């Protein structure tokens, strides 16, 4: 049902009645079809693209003919995730979900290491335990192509307008976002959002109090104080750890260039490449820790950020690479694990090795300090 006064229309995920239209637009989107061609048939896409394009369209029409609702999309994504997990990691474990109520909505504030996999792993755990999947906050910097926007909004993503630069425009965008998050929670829809803008490429997970101030904009609108309003959001800190980060060397090289040259120029398709690498690259084991619902009243955004950080740090699941990089003895550190880690860094410049080691060491040093 289309609501005439839908104030969230430009940022919200698609509703059931918009799914078929979005799928039709995707199937007819040249960039989307070309992306599939280049990914599945890199050798043939140039020469035989004109032959393969109608075949791919026909295949997609057939494959998606029964996808009519948001729930249908989620089932398709779950199937895809099952295959991805099977081929790109050695198992997913999780803790803390038993403390949460499937009938309740939560605001999951998560550490952020991987663009696509972080919210996907939270969803995977929830989907397999009888919870509804979450609505995902995604920056408009990742939505440069219309097909990317279609895909994300089909998959329950809502848009964070980072491109707004004028102060009044920014304030308006943040106010709408804050209102949408509260509206989602109050209508039974959980939310996933990263604890700060961008991934923690250095391995240091920190909550930006500005995110919490954005949540509170709706509270201020309702004439409530910060400690009154924030517990109503049911904030749950989430800590996601990957035994191996498929983007780790790329992140370390980027940070090294910033360190040595003062800046780093991102390539046009770099975010997309990071997303693909994060999905298909081997991650070994993955652990998702769901923390405790924050019901205490915190007087300031800084104090609440410190509590979210405390839970994310303490709940972070450490793997052998974390101990090895930090130089900490642990029973999980075997000769084979040490050799594997040394092999990973063997051909890298010393400065890049230092950054990569810091990336893996930081969670261990913070948790055990």
pLDDT band at 340 (very low <50, low <70, confident <90, very high): very high
Tell me which of 219 and 278 has the higher pLDDT: 219
pTM of the model: 0.93
- Which pLDDT score, from 0 to 100, does residue 43 have? 66
- Which pLDDT score, from 0 to 100, does residue 45 have? 57
- CA 134 to chain centroid, in Å, comes to 11
Tens-digit pLDDT profile for residues 55-70: 989 999 998 999 999 9
% of the chain residues with pLDDT over 90: 79
**Among 322, 340, 227, CA closest to 282:** 340
* pLDDT exceeds cutoff 90 at 5: no
What distances in angstroms separate CA 134 from CA 30, 80, 90, 224, 225, one per listed residue? 29, 17, 24, 26, 27
Sheet (strand 107-110) strand order: 92-95, 286-290, 235-242, 107-110, 191-194, 135-139, 157-160
Tens-digit pLDDT profile for residues 8-26: 999 999 999 999 999 999 9
- Which pLDDT score, from 0 to 100, does residue 360 have? 98
- Which pLDDT score, from 0 to 100, does residue 255 have? 96
Q: Which residues contact 310 (CB under 8 A, 6 or more apart)?
A: none
* pLDDT exceeds cutoff 90 at 265: no
* pLDDT exceeds cutoff 60 at 3: no
- Which pLDDT score, from 0 to 100, does residue 37 have? 81
When pLDDT is averaged across residues 76-80 and rounded to a whole number, the result is: 89
- Which pLDDT score, from 0 to 100, does residue 1 have? 39
When pLDDT is averaged across residues 133-144 and rounded to a whole number, the result is: 92
CA triple 161-166-170, angle to 5 deg = 40
Q: Which residues contact 174 (CB under 8 A, 6 or more apart)?
A: 214, 217
Tens-digit pLDDT profile for residues 165-208: 899 999 999 999 999 999 999 999 999 999 999 999 999 999 99
Indicate the SS3 state at residue 286.
strand
Tens-digit pLDDT profile for residues 244-258: 999 999 999 999 999
Of 33-37, 208-212, 356-360, the range with the lowest mean pLDDT is 33-37
pLDDT band at 2 (very low <50, low <70, confident <90, very high): very low
- Mean pLDDT, the chain, integer: 93
């Amino acid at each position: 049902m289309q609501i005439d006064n839908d104030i969230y229309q430009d940022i919200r995920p698609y509703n059931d009645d918009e799914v078929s239209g979005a799928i039709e637009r995707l199937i007819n989107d040249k960039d989307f079809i070309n992306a599939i061609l280049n990914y599945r048939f890199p050798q043939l896409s140039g020469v035989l693209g004109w032959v393969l394009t109608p075949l791919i369209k026909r295949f997609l029409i057939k494959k998606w003919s029964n996808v009519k609702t948001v729930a249908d999309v989620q089932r398709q994504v779950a199937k895809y995730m099952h295959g991805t997990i099977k081929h790109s990691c050695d198992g997913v474990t999780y803790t803390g979900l038993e403390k949460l109520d499937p009938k309740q909505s939560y605001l999951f504030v998560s550490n952020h290491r991987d663009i696509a996999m972080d919210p996907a792993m939270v969803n995977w755990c929830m989907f397999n335990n009888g919870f509804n999947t979450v609505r995902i906050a995604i920056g408009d910097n990742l939505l440069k192509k219309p097909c990317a926007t279609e895909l994300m909004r089909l998959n329950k993503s809502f848009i964070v307008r980072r491109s707004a630069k004028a102060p009044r425009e920014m304030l308006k965008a943040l106010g709408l976002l804050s209102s949408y998050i509260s509206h989602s929670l109050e209508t039974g829809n959980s939310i996933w959002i990263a604890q700060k803008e961008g991934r923690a490429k250095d391995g240091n997970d920190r909550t930006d109090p500005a995110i919490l101030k954005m949540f509170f904009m709706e509270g201020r609108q309702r004439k409530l104080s910060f400690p009154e309003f924030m517990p109503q959001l049911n904030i749950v800190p989430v800590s996601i750890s990957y035994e191996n980060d498929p983007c780790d060397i790329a992140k370390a090289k980027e940070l090294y260039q910033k360190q040595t040259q003062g800046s780093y120029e991102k390539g046009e398709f770099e975010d997309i490449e990071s997303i693909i690498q994060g999905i298909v690259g081997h991650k070994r084991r993955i652990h998702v820790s769901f923390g405790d619902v924050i019901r205490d009243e915190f007087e300031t955004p800084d104090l609440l950020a410190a509590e979210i950080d405390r839970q994310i740090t303490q709940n972070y699941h450490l793997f052998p690479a974390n101990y090895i990089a930090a130089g900490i003895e642990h029973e999980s550190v075997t000769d084979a694990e040490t050799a594997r880690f040394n092999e990973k860094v063997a051909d890298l410049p010393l400065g890049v090795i230092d950054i990569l080691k810091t990336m893996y060491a930081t969670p261990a040093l913070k948790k055990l300090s």
